Amino acid sequence: MDIREFNFSVKRYRSTTTDSKDRSLKEICLQAARKHFTALGIKAILDLPVALIKDVLPHLTVCQLDQLQPALNQREISTYSGWVGIIRDIWGPNHVIDVHTEEEAKHEVMKCLFPLVFYGFRNNYTTRNSTNLNTPSFLWAAAKCIHHFLISTNLPKPLQSLTAENWPLLNLFEERIRSVTLSHSLDLSQRKTQLGLYVFHRLFDHGKARKLTIHMQCPMILAWLLHGRGSQYVDPKLKDLLDKGKAACTLQADDQDDQATPCKRSKLDFKEEEESGKEDINVDPQCLCRAFTPFEGPSAGACPWGQIHCLEIRECGPGSFRLLSSVLPTFFCLHSLTLHSIMTLRDPEVMDLAGALKQLSDSSRSSLADLKISILPNIMSMEFLLDSCPSVTSLQVEIQELMWGVRPLPPYSRAAEPDFLPVQLALEKLTVKVTELQTDVLIVTSVLRRSPRLTSFHVAGMRLHTSSSQSHLLTTLSESNPCLRSLFLEDTKLSDCFPDILKLLRHSRLEELRFHDCRLLEKCLDKEENLQLLVAAVKTVPSLHTLGLAQNRIARSVCVLADLFTGSSTSSVKCLDIRSNFIQPAELLEFATRIKTHPPKHRLTLDLRRNPGDRDPDTWCAALDMLRPFTVLLVEGWKSTDTMVDHLSNM
């Protein structure tokens, strides 16, 4: 089909009524627009009626959408539907789309596809669209959108291309990339490691990347990555290695003919060099630039040193922990630190980390604000870490008992020490995920009372003594945290705390409230009555826009939630999460019928995932159709044959 045939088909489509033949003709036209996009040109697409343009968008390739987007935006036409169509094609029809703007959807597509195409990985989508994706134009289009880059030395050839035919991409990455992930183990005795370190050097030292994520256990590599990029600490073994490299690099430069143009290597034969068994690898950043950078590259003079502002270590072993304890006291530029230990930390390791953090905090130059640590041995460790760096504004910890069979520690808090002077904390966000047989709630409430600026609190899995209640926690939140805006209680028994929840709501300015798997209605004789009390309390909080009640066995009582939007005063809730509540199709239909009578003032995002819609698909679909005009539905497939999930949701 050429341009004339395409235009004739479009005219015929405009002039006829829509029957089955016309719909078939329309599909042919849309597929032809994709296939002959280059021959047609952008103008041919732009000359179509707006309705047809919107119809053709989901049929276009990634590069075609990217090429059309600027011109369509000038006509105030969004390509959002096209990008969302690609997301659904990648992840499947049941994938929940959590992007709301054109740029968010485009970034999601590029973030997903770029590493797959660049490193040659395969999934169903890249296999079906290999002709459109395995092109320089796609790599260039994606590189202009992404802000994160993965360095995988297990596949050196794609990285090697950045020093040869894909050299312009590396220049673009210097301007675009803000965060880098290093995966797989790196060995300084291997040639391919040089290439990975060189790309890192370009992105961090010559470029604008400031966030580093590491998936490996190698203290020497960690020392190289941190060297000169924020801390004054120098690892002795690394210093010797770098000094040898600098000396070798100087000798090599002196041996070159000053009158001749230096010949720099743009490629390495990794197979040949690895088989040669050479281990005299030069890892000095300046020498790496000389080895890999073409003449027009950035390293004509001395290489700059970048700074690491955000550091995340996903597999932090004992050696890396010891190195960090030496690095942290002078890591003044560090804003965020995330450490995931490969095993539960022991008390001496926690004390070493706390000591290093205290030295950093005591200096007036510290900028550390965000701290995430896992896995701590007990809840007391959290308090020690906070006392060592009271200026952090965000703390996230995961706590797990050191071993099975350890007797629970008696209730204890640093506040009970005679010489302990409680310091007010700067905390604004606190997340505590606990796996303990018994948690000392007094430590948690002590931290809350010392955090008057706390705006977000998330606690999961906190178990108390059988005779204890979470009411003390809720009372503390009501009395000590007036700035609280987001409260997320998860896997926490609240069945005997209904009065405290209602009191908290009456005296709060919450914007987000989530009770996930909290057994809210477990001890209620009349579930609907208690749910009505909760709905009435929620309606008294005008700032509340998100309400999460996932996995609370609401089931047939779901209709009560429609009352959020009825009466003289209505709720401001814009997002309602009722996942995993065993809501059956007939119950959802009744909910939809009631809420249709009094629809929300604002478009409501309704999360219905993991509810048994397949029990009666026709009724379920009828309920969804009734809800769609005034809600954004988050749904996914459910398999009632999965009896365990079914049982747990209906307990």
Residue 651 pLDDT class (50, 70, 90 cuts): very low
pLDDT of residue 105: 94
Question: E strands of 145-197, at which residues?
Answer: 148-152, 179-183
- Alpha-carbon distance 319 to 341, whole Å? 11
pLDDT of residue 258: 47
- Alpha-carbon distance 205 to 210, whole Å? 9
Average pLDDT of span 481-495: 95
Res 405 pLDDT > 50: no
> Whose CA is closest to 390, among 424, 348, 435?
424
- The pTM of the full predicted model, rounded to 2 decimals, is 0.85
**How far is residue 143 from each of residues 81, 173, 197, 317, 350, measured CA to CA in Å?**
22, 7, 20, 34, 41
pLDDT of residue 524: 77
Average pLDDT of span 1-10: 49
pLDDT of residue 438: 85
Average pLDDT of span 125-144: 92
Contacts of 319 (CB under 8 A, 6+ apart): 217, 219
Task: Identify the weakest region by mean pLDDT among 458-467, 468-477, 592-601.
Answer: 458-467
16 class by beta-carbon count within 10 Å (0-12 exposed, 13-18 middle, 19+ buried): exposed
Task: Identify the weakest region by mean pLDDT among 177-191, 265-279, 370-384, 419-433.
Answer: 265-279
Integer-rounded Cα Rg, in Å, for the chain is 30
Strands 310-316 and 336-341: parallel
Query: Are 413 and 449 in contact, with CB atoms under 8 Å apart?
Result: no
Residue 650 pLDDT class (50, 70, 90 cuts): very low
Residue 278 pLDDT class (50, 70, 90 cuts): very low
Average pLDDT of span 12-35: 63
How open is the CA angle 308-314-315, to the nearest 5 degrees?
A: 120
Query: Are 126 and 117 in contact, with CB atoms under 8 Å apart?
Result: yes
pLDDT of residue 419: 55
Place of tokens 């000389």: 290
pLDDT of residue 313: 95
Query: Are 294 and 162 in contact, with CB atoms under 8 Å apart?
Result: no
Residue 636 pLDDT class (50, 70, 90 cuts): confident
pLDDT of residue 43: 87
pLDDT of residue 17: 44
Query: Are 306 and 202 in contact, with CB atoms under 8 Å apart?
Result: no
Average pLDDT of span 166-173: 93
Query: Are 205 and 285 in contact, with CB atoms under 8 Å apart?
Result: yes
Average pLDDT of span 128-157: 92
CA 506, 507, 509, 514 dihedral sign is: negative
- Alpha-carbon distance 60 to 383, whole Å? 55
pLDDT of residue 360: 96
pLDDT tens across 369-396, in order? 999 999 999 999 999 999 999 999 999 9
Query: Are 487 and 457 in contact, with CB atoms under 8 Å apart?
Result: yes
Contacts of 493 (CB under 8 A, 6+ apart): 464, 470, 518, 519
Average pLDDT of span 269-296: 64
pLDDT of residue 268: 46
| Count, residues in the chain | 651
Beta partners for 338? 312, 372
User: Side chain identity at 67, as an amino acid letter?
Assistant: Q
pLDDT tens across 336-345, in order? 999 999 889 9
pLDDT of residue 15: 47
Place of tokens 């929840």: 501
Question: E strands of 473-589, at which residues?
Answer: 486-490, 512-516, 546-548, 575-577
Res 297 pLDDT > 70: no
Question: E strands of 478-567, at which residues?
Answer: 486-490, 512-516, 546-548
> Regarding predicted confidence, which is higher, 142 or 36?
142
- Alpha-carbon distance 505 to 387, whole Å? 30
> Regarding predicted confidence, which is higher, 366 or 249?
366
pLDDT of residue 420: 55
Query: Are 455 and 483 in contact, with CB atoms under 8 Å apart?
Result: yes
Query: By three-state DSSP, how is residue 519 classified?
Result: coil
- Residues above pLDDT 70, as percent of the chain: 84
pLDDT of residue 270: 47
Task: Identify the weakest region by mean pLDDT among 40-49, 492-501, 560-569.
Answer: 40-49
Res 299 pLDDT > 70: no
> Secondary structure of 555-588 in the HEC alphabet?
HHHHHHHHHHHCCCCCCCCCEEECCCCCCCHHHH
pLDDT of residue 248: 65
Q: Which token pair is 328?
A: 């942290």
> Whose CA is closest to 354, among 371, 334, 340, 335?
371
Res 601 pLDDT > 80: yes
Res 18 pLDDT > 70: no
> Whose CA is closest to 73, among 106, 111, 39?
106
- Alpha-carbon distance 371 to 396, whole Å? 6
Residue 192 pLDDT class (50, 70, 90 cuts): confident
DSSP 307: -
Query: By three-state DSSP, how is residue 387 classified?
Result: helix
pLDDT of residue 464: 85
- Alpha-carbon distance 226 to 325, whole Å? 13
Res 252 pLDDT > 70: no
pLDDT tens across 489-539, in order? 999 999 889 999 999 998 899 999 999 999 998 877 788 999 999 999 999
Residue 468 pLDDT class (50, 70, 90 cuts): confident
What are φ and ψ of residue 421, in 5° steps? -110, 105
pLDDT of residue 20: 46
Res 145 pLDDT > 60: yes
Average pLDDT of span 128-132: 90
Q: Give the chain's mean pLDDT.
A: 85
